[in-house]
């Protein structure tokens, strides 16, 4: 019964909040994120992060990225691989250096400063994708560059994290860097081979089954298989489902899958993901860290915005388009939250600063949607 009440509350509140946000000219996703804070432990305490809540939100973000892959123009993605790599590299280097310098200012140790740099180098485009979908710009050059850069960014940051954990964490050595990189290469090779040669035949085979929604079922099997294998090989599951959607988008079943999966995702699971972002917030002890929190948030937003901006400018984007790309990389989301939790467990992020870092990460996620709308709208109207 409690689960049913939670489902009712989350679906109702996110839809109402999203509608109110659009009424004041903001992306619907901003309202959905804010309502998560309001109904979560930080304010009303109506929703808590139970195990089943966590599982629903995980499915939500996986399906969100699967839909992004379905709607991405693969030709655009191939054409923009150079700017994607440039945006990712500078979008990691500049935030890393900026956050490390911030740690120095606030008296962090060398290891803690390096870890803070890794944490703020991360990008999570789950929220970005939803805003781009709302604005109907997911197939533009800027959007495909953001999506491509997110994949490269994930590889760079996870590799950096493994390096830091291996040499500086208190849990002992983790996997060696060569092994980690080999696993990622295996994943991408496997994803490509299966996506090109197996997925189309698998969907066609399933489409002949005399059961309800066979193609949709087959597509979900593919998506979650990609996520499972991706996580097993050290990748974010969202990268797996994005790639699954991208390969399915090249088949004759793209529209059927999109039209049937989107109601499942946005009707039930994705609202849990939005609320999960707000649930992580706690305001306990924040005032004692207020200057660090402000500085952390400013560094988090500006370093990613301009790091990615310089990468886009270096590969031929004009100023406005480059700012649109940069704004799409600002959100840290669940990737940085996972890294922060890892740092706390390994002693690389002290409990003293943990709450402020978490709030700062969530603030970057809240700031990103209005920034995206502003720059993309200006870019389209230039």
Q: How far apart are CA 55 and CA 224, in angstroms?
A: 13
Q: What's the CA dihedral at 252, 256, 258, 260 to 10 degrees?
A: -160
71 and 272 Cβ atoms separated by less than 8 Å = no
Indicate whether 282 belongs to any domain.
yes
Instruction: Tokens for 27, please give them.
Output: 């992306």
Q: How far apart are CA 22 and CA 328, in angstroms?
A: 19
Q: What is the pTM of this model?
A: 0.69
CATH of the domain at 184: 1.20.1530.20
Among 299, 287, 158, residue whose Cα is nearest residue 234: 158
Question: For 85, phi and psi rounded to 5 degrees?
Answer: -65, -45
Give the count of domains, the chain.
1
Among 155, 180, 152, 183, residue whose Cα is nearest residue 166: 180
Instruction: Tokens for 187, please give them.
Output: 């994943």
Indicate whether 213 belongs to any domain.
yes
Q: What is the DSSP letter of 287?
A: G
The span from the first CA to the last CA of the chain, in angstroms, equals: 52
Indicate whether 33 belongs to any domain.
no
Domain that holds residue 180: 51-380
Indicate whether 215 belongs to any domain.
yes
Instruction: Tokens for 49, please give them.
Output: 């992060």
Indicate whether 26 belongs to any domain.
no
Distance of CA 312 to the CA centre of its chain: 20
Question: For 50, phi and psi rounded to 5 degrees?
Answer: -75, 170
Indicate whether 31 belongs to any domain.
no
Instruction: Tokens for 88, please give them.
Output: 């990712």
Tokens 């939803």, located at residue: 130
What is the full per-residue pLDDT of the chain (382 aa) written as tens digits? 688 888 999 999 999 998 998 888 777 777 887 888 888 887 888 888 788 888 898 898 888 878 878 877 677 667 778 888 899 999 999 999 999 999 899 888 888 888 889 889 988 777 787 788 878 887 788 888 888 888 788 777 767 776 776 566 554 445 566 777 788 888 889 999 999 999 999 999 998 888 888 999 999 999 999 999 988 887 777 778 888 998 998 888 988 898 999 899 988 998 888 888 777 676 766 777 888 889 999 999 999 999 999 999 998 898 999 999 999 889 887 667 767 766 776 778 877 787 788 888 888 888 888 888 888 887 666 6
Indicate whether 329 belongs to any domain.
yes
Q: How far apart are CA 78 and CA 314, in angstroms?
A: 18
Concatenated DSSP letters of 167-202: HH-TT---S-HHHHHHHHHHHHHHHHHIIIIIHHHH
Exposure on the CB side of residue 161, measured as CA atoms within 13 A: 22
Indicate whether 14 belongs to any domain.
no
- Among the residues of 265-346, which ranges form H helices? 270-279, 290-314, 319-328, 333-346
256 and 215 Cβ atoms separated by less than 8 Å = yes
């Amino acid at each position: 019964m409690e689960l049913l009440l939670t489902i009712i509350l989350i679906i109702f509140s996110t839809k109402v909040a999203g509608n109110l946000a659009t009424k004041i000219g903001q992306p619907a996703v901003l309202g959905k994120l804010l309502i998560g804070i309001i109904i979560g432990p930080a304010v009303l305490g109506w929703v808590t992060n139970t195990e089943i809540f966590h599982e629903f939100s995980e499915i939500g973000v996986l399906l969100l990225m699967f839909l992004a892959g379905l709607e991405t123009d693969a030709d655009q993605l191939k054409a923009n691989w150079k700017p994607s790599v440039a945006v990712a590299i500078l979008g990691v280097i500049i935030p890393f250096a900026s956050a490390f310098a911030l740690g120095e200012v606030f008296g962090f140790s060398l290891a803690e400063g390096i870890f803070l740099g890794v944490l703020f180098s991360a990008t999570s485009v789950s929220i970005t994708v939803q805003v781009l979908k709302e604005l109907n710009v997911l197939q533009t050059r800027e959007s495909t560059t953001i999506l491509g850069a997110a994949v490269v960014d994930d590889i760079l940051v996870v590799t950096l994290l493994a390096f830091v954990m291996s040499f500086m964490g208190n849990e002992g050595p983790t996997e060696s860097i060569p092994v980690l990189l080999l696993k990622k290469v295996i994943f991408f090779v496997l994803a490509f081979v299966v996506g090109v040669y197996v997925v189309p035949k698998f969907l066609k085979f399933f489409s002949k089954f005399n059961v309800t929604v066979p193609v949709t079922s087959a597509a979900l099997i593919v998506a979650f298989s990609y996520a499972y294998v991706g996580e097993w090989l050290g990748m974010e599951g969202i990268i797996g489902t994005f790639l699954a959607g991208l390969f399915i988008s090249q088949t004759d079943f793209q529209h059927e899958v999109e039209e049937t999966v989107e109601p499942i995702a946005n009707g039930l699971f994705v609202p849990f993901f939005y609320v999960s972002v707000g649930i992580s917030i706690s305001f306990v002890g924040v005032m004692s860290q207020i200057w660090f929190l402000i500085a952390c948030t400013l560094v988090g937003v500006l370093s990613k915005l301009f790091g990615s901006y310089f990468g886009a400018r270096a590969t031929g984007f004009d100023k406005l388009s480059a700012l649109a790309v940069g704004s799409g990389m600002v959100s840290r989301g669940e990737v940085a939250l996972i890294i922060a939790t890892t740092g706390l467990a390994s002693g690389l992020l002290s409990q003293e600063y943990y709450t402020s870092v978490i709030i700062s990460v969530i603030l970057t996620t809240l700031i990103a949607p209005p920034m995206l709308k502003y720059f993309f709208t200006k870019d389209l109207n230039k």
